[in-house]
Amino acid sequence: MNLPKIVADLVQTQNSFDSIAYANCFSETAVVFDEGKTHIGKTEIEHWIADANERYKATMKPLSFEEKETESILKAEISGNFDGSPIALSYHLEIADDLINSLKITG
């Protein structure tokens, strides 16, 4: 599967549990929506993913990638320390200037 570099970087940093490198995939003012919460800016995103890594130890296996006009959708199998693992999630991404501006994770 041919993923844009920033999306491939996101997957790699998730799978290596590198919260700093993960946050660096995002713009300074990026917004993440996950588990009913909103995280704004790289610092909040870094804290959110560090906490999620600690709790879930989740890894991503890309299943499909689709680019649309205003967003891209990465579907991935997520495995980790949580009930129902593995599950398929959709990562709705808005990308500009080779950085992620918005990420919404849905089931």
The CATH number of the domain holding residue 60 is 3.10.450.50
State how beta strands 37-40 and 26-34 pair: antiparallel
Identify the pLDDT of residue 57: 96
Give pLDDT, residue 74: 98
Q: Residue 89 and residue 100: Cα distance in Å, rounded?
A: 18
103 pLDDT tier (thresholds 50, 70, 90): very high
For 99, the domain range is 5-106
Q: For residue 86, what pLDDT band results from cuts at 50, 70 and 90?
A: very high
Q: Compute the average pLDDT of residues 32-50.
A: 97
Q: What is the pLDDT of residue 1?
A: 85
Q: Yes or no: say if 103 and 32 are a contact pair by the CB < 8 Å rule.
A: yes
Asked if 41 and 49 touch (Cβ cutoff 8 Å), the reply is no
Distance CA 25, CA 39 (A): 14
Structural domain total, the chain: 1
The pLDDT of residue 28 is 97
Cα separation, 87 vs 65, whole angstroms:
16
**pLDDT greater than 90 at residue 16:** yes
Residue 69 pLDDT > 90, yes or no? no
Nearest to 79 by CA among 15, 2, 6: 15
